Structure 1
Amino acid sequence: MTLDIDAARKLADTATEGPWAYNSYSAVFSTPKIKPHDDWLGTIGEHTLERRGECAACGSGSTGCALYSEDYTREALVAHVPAHHGDTATGQRVADAEFIAAARALVPQLCDEIERGVDTIRDLRVRLEYLTEAATEAARWASIRPGEAGQALEALCDAVSRTAVVEGGSRSWSLPAEPNVDRLRDRHNRLWVRARYTNGPDLWWQGEPGNGLPCLWMELLSDGPLTDASNEQVAA
């Protein structure tokens, strides 16, 4: 079953305004929505403002308050649950009434949480797609010929650092920019030296250029935190 968030919101939006409450007998009602009748404001006496029943302010024998208006509601009844004895619900019926009352606020809150979750999943799927592409490029890097190195490294960096655009707005994410230094130390105190290339991304070599296998900036980040080693004395 697919949950229709728009339909759920429409049900909540068209229902009686909340919050709702259970009156501890057998009724669920909305909070009072008081809109005093203009005539009532200048009337001496206490009017019941009820459709039926005697109203002392209207006079003995009255069969309803003359100032009754549907705009004035002290308890806007939403639902009844079956009463066990008289007008009082018990046991399971009490739990049902409390659930109905709580649903008025709970349904919109759940819709908000679900929509946030859907946005997060969509964002993660986009990121996973790009990371999968980056992993594919990394695997290809292991078997390329020397002449293809610059092109492969450029494609790898592009795959990892591109911006993910998701429905509802853009969420940019990228690697921290390379600092404008040529010597860094990683968390193992190893020295890394940068070699700059005109036709490809810069590479980081351990100790000195040409020593072992180079690293891209994204690979070097995994050995962080990195510290600037530019001021260290270079061995002769």
Structure 2
Amino acid sequence: MPCVPPSWAASGSFWLLVLHVPALCGTAGSLFPDGRQGEFIKTLQEYEVVEPARVDANGHFVSFNLHHHISNTRKKRDLGKKENAIYYKINHKEKDLFFNLTIHMGFLSHNYVVERRRGNHSRAKIAMHSGVPCHFIGAVLQPGSGSGTAAISTCNGLTGYFHLPHGDYFIEPIKKHLQKKGTPQPHIIYEANTLQNALRRRRAIPVEEEQACGVNDLEKLKWMNLSS
């Protein structure tokens, strides 16, 4: 479901795309409950709303529950087993994407700490590592277009980066979406080269108001380095 932010509706190029934009897209405010994510989306020239599904190795539907956590107690020699692989299917640009992923135990240290800041240090929040690995790497296949690599976190929906012959993309869940049991969790996909324009806009935001929107910029870069 490709979407064009309202700010682009006034340009001539918008009308070339309008036939491909479903009415469901609406405004960023109505589609994105999280205000900061909505503001981030407005900086993108184009994005697509998708509904990932968990599938089996043959591509058959399994569930809309995307979470796949692996216990830290598993030994490295066990990580090659079939039960440690996870598969997802996403319809992207009217073609299916198939993800074949396996756990990546070395992505984060077991002792890492996350510190989030808004303004000065007195507003910092520190969180310890949960101890549950949920970062995966692997391959992505788009029949008719080719294959590439992917680095995806399943900690909360699907968050990460994937590379295809025709471009590099980021994926993240729509935040604060109230997902009902048995229904898909909507995500957004956008091209990596659109991120540069988004970062230019964020440079105009005062430091005390600036906060990571969508996938954290440094995390994006790490995803890209990991799967390249």
Q: TM-score range by the shorter chain?
A: under 0.3
Structure with more of its chain in strand, by fraction: 2
Indicate the structure whose relative CO is greater, using CA pairs within 8 Å and at least 6 residues apart. 2
TM-score, with normalisation over the residues of structure 2? 0.21
Structure with more of its chain in helix, by fraction: 1
TM-score, with normalisation over the residues of structure 1? 0.21
Q: Which of these two proteins has the greater Rg computed from alpha carbons?
A: 1
